[in-house]
Structure 1
Amino acid sequence: MPTLDENHTGARIRDQRRLARLTQRQLAGRLPYSYSLLNQVECGARPATADFVAACAKALSIDVTVLTGQPYVTELQRDRLAELIRPIRESLDLYDLGPNPELAVQPAERLIAGADKLCQEVRATHLRSAARKLPGLVADLTHTAWSTPSTRLWQSLASAYRTAHDISVKLGYYDLSAVALDRMDWAAQRASDPCLSAVRQYMRALVYFREGEYRIGQRLVAAGHGLIGQADETREALAVSGQLHLGGSVIAARAENESAVKMHISEARRIAERIGDASDVHWLSFGPTNVALHKMSAAVEMHQYDDALKQARKIRLPSQLATSRRAHFLIDKSRTEMETGHTEGALKSLVEARRVAPEQTRYHPAARETITGLVHLSRRTPDTLNHMATWIGL
């Protein structure tokens, strides 16, 4: 049976608490959680859920990544992923330098197709492949957009910046993801595209969701809706509006505002019934299935695990659903199964998540914490769980 090292999230919470010269009871007094739960998390007997970590970070006045330990340096070095990040970071710094005399102007259609292809690769969770191709594409798009500016080129550059954000988040480089979102806004403004700007507000809202700043997240969702109000009522605008409501639902759930959750889910469902599957719009995966997935995720965030599990068992994922969304559902399902005592089911869901999206699953905080929880709940650790624990570096 694997044993926890001293680099798990609970241990980092304990260390930061001690640095702040707080006892467990003093920190618990600042949290919307019990002293007992804090004690169990610090010793590793219970997983540190995302909302718990966000609350601790806020109470200790530190960044969430100090507690999550992301990026997971040992694993990243072993997988040679860290060397992919530097070129991405450098490519994001080219935005205001104008044309590059060392580059030739590329055909617009090839660059536009390339940006779309990278979005597709990220949704398929081919992170290494997308990360390798991204810096060159950003450099070519930046040079060509400055040399022969057009709305479509600026839109594609904004899309490439969005891909940089997605890759950075999935690998835990949240500082880089914030830079990518700033660049996305810069390009979206040059494209005069309110829908792209609204997508960027949606992604910013999710950043604050991770940080536990739910009021700011809610304001960003509202700002996104304000931008959509400037666009014509097209299928694109409706899909983005629906996705903003889905983002609003999980933020409201984390803030324990159940009435707001119901409102957002209801509005998203209304839009999905009107336009059907719109997963092709900005690669947001919006549609009836994503509404169901977010309703379940909201139940998980509100700790309504029995209800979330009932919903999960009724959800039938269509074959065309993005791999990233499929893996996210399986990770949510595994957490729900663990919390309701279905440990075998939880392990099975994690194994399936690893099968369909190994990179995303390996670096996903919820997957790692659920594996940690399963190790502690198991009197005799199955070989499969041993393998999963070793795989994430436990």
Structure 2
Amino acid sequence: MRPKMTQQQLADAACVALGTIRKIERGERGVTQATLEAIADALGIDPTRLLTDRGAAHTHVHEALPVLSAALATYDLPDDGPIRPTHELRAAVAEAARWRLAAQYTRIARKLPDLLTELARAYHAAPGAERPELAGLLVKGYRSADAVAYKFGAHDLSARLIELMRWAVPEAGDPLLSASVAYVRTETFFAARAHAAGLRLLEQAMDAAPAPAAPLEIAVKGALHMRAAVIAGRARDASAAVTHLNEASDLADRVAEDVYCGTAFGPDSVRTHQVSVAVSLGDAHVGRALDIAGEWKPPKDLPAERRSGFYIELARAQLWSGLADDAFESLKVARHIAPQHTREHPWVREDAATLRRLKRADSETLTNFAEWCSAT
């Protein structure tokens, strides 16, 4: 978010009348979608951050999913239209990746269909020498779109996006990008609860990935180990989970936290995965999640999606440990960090519903939260 702005500065940046800004802030008038988006862009935040307590903002994403699906249908036969220079397409794809890390799914759903269509158009129109980079941009664009599809429960659409990533990545000729696609592909195994098969896939990807010498190579290998630890935890394979976490930790000691190659990697990212694995393993392992959280909290420069995920996982560990009040506080922190990610997370709905049953006579804050995330 940008530094604090006066009402006049916000009005000027958003090209909205000062009187309109004042009336909206006082609650004296509603706000159209166009005005909401203009104000959000001026503030440098996702529009849903302004709608957290004002209705079902997540419906904007659901409504956009058919448009995204239609854009994918013509991946090999794009219609005629404008094509920006490659450097502009590169910048647009990078911006979409930043939205993904910040859990700004509304922006992705709104912008990616046209971008993916344009990328496909550019790829098919390009001479052979230019195609590898455009294929790589397609893979990265599909990845950002997949974040929306998967997080919002459109698993068939997510699987389609993953198949398109697998279609485009050979043309890119980038082994690091191939490893990144393998990382994302495990979503299909999570959705199908085929954890053992997903673990095999990741182990094959690790064998095929370049040796971890340079920072990007280390980050890719480390990310695969983090992912493998989580899916091993879901399979209740404690030995494999610990082995992969240790490998990830050793690799993280060799790079800074801000190394990014498809997913964030570094010591803090590994720490968040230690909590995730402990929760996945359950039972006697849950205390490990509480111990980590007692000593450490994710720093603000960690991607919002990852930070909110930490508190969602922690809330589950606290709930299982009988710490209902602490669990609710963690859910509220997750909501503050990344409202869309939190609202759409199935564990949030389950845990909010459980908290509501446990604390029937508690304040309306919990009731409001449960209704916000559609907990039943």
**1:329 aligned partner, one-letter code:** F
Q: Is the 8 A contact 2:212 2:218 kept in 1?
A: no
Matches within 5 A, 1:138-217: 138-148=116-126, 149-217=130-198
Shift of 1:237: 2.0
2:112 counterpart residue number: 134
Q: CA–CA distance in 2 between the matches of 1:165 and 1:82?
A: 13
Out of 59, 68, 72, the residue aligned to residue 88 of structure 1 is 68
Deviation at 1:295, TM superposition (A): 1.1
Of all paired residues, the percent bearing the same amino acid is: 32
Separation in structure 1 between the aligned mates of residue 296 and residue 198 of structure 2, nearest angstrom? 27
Q: Does 1:388 align with 2:369?
A: yes
Any idea what SS the aligned residue of 1:79 has?
Answer: helix
Question: How many aligned residue pairs are there?
Answer: 316
CA deviation map 1:137-183 (0-9, x unaligned): 10111111111233222111110011111110111101100000111
Q: Which amino acid aligns with 1:221?
A: L
Which residue number corresponds to residue 310 of structure 1? 291
- Structure-2 separation of matches of 1:218 and 1:109: 37
Give the drift of 1:379: 4.2
Matches of residues 73-84 of structure 1 in structure 2 within 5 Å? 79-84=59-64
Structure 1 distance, partners of 2:259, 2:347, is: 25
Alpha-carbon offset, residue 235 of structure 1? 2.0
Counterpart of 2:322? 341
Q: In 2 relative to 1, CA 78–324 (structure 1 residues): closer, same or farther, beyond 3 Å? A: closer
CA 1:78–1:367 in structure 2 vs 1: closer, same or farther (change >3 Å)?
closer
Q: SS of the counterpart of 2:260?
A: coil
Contact kept? 1:236, 1:281, Cα under 8 Å = yes
1:232, CA displacement in angstroms?
7.8
Q: Note the aligned Cα RMSD (angstroms).
A: 1.8
Is this contact kept in 2: 1:199–1:224, CA < 8 A? no
Corresponding letter in the other structure for 1:83: E
Q: Which residue in the other structure is 1:47 paired with?
A: none
Q: Decide whether the 8 Å contact of 1:206 with 1:247 is kept in 2.
A: no
- Decide whether the 8 Å contact of 1:269 with 1:291 is kept in 2: yes
How far off is 1:317 after superposition? 1.5
Question: How far did 1:388 drift?
Answer: 0.6
Q: Counterpart of 1:302 in structure 2: which amino acid?
A: L
1:220 to 195, 198, 201: 201
Report deviation, 1:78: 7.4
Question: What is the one-letter code of the residue matched to 1:183?
Answer: L
Task: Write out aligned runs for 1:349-360 (5 A).
Answer: 349-360=330-341
Compared with structure 1, are the counterparts of its residues 80 and 277 closer, same or farther at alpha carbon in structure 2 (3 Å cutoff)?
Answer: closer
Name 1:122's counterpart in structure 2: 100
Q: What does residue 64 of structure 1 align with?
A: none
Higher RCO (CA < 8 A, seq sep 6+):
1
Q: Distance in 1 between matches of 2:72 and 2:264?
A: 26
- Give the stretch that moved more between structures: 348-357 or 373-382: 373-382
TM-score, with normalisation over the residues of structure 1? 0.77
Aligned partners of 2:233 and 2:278 also within 8 Å = yes
> Which of 257, 276, 289 pairs up with 2:256?
276
Indicate the SS of the match to 2:202: helix
1:381, CA displacement in angstroms?
2.6
In structure 2, C-alpha distance between the alignment counterparts of 1:272 and 1:120, rounded to whole Å: 22
Structure 1 residue 278, shift from structure 2 partner: 3.9
Three-state SS of the structure 2 residue aligned to 1:80 is: helix
Q: By how many angstroms is 1:324 displaced?
A: 0.4
**Worse overlay, 267-276 or 142-151:** 142-151
Task: Look up the equivalent residue of 2:75 and give its one-letter code.
Answer: Y
- Once the two structures are superposed, the pairs formed by residues 11-160 of structure 1 within 5 Å of their partners are 79-97=59-77, 100=79, 102-148=80-126, 149-160=130-141
Displacement of 1:203: 1.5
Q: Using structure 2 for the length normalisation, give the TM-score.
A: 0.80
**Cα shift at 1:77:** 9.0
1:295 corresponds to which letter in structure 2? Q
Secondary structure of 1:125 counterpart: coil
Assess if the C-alpha contact under 8 Å between 1:195 and 1:227 holds in 2: no
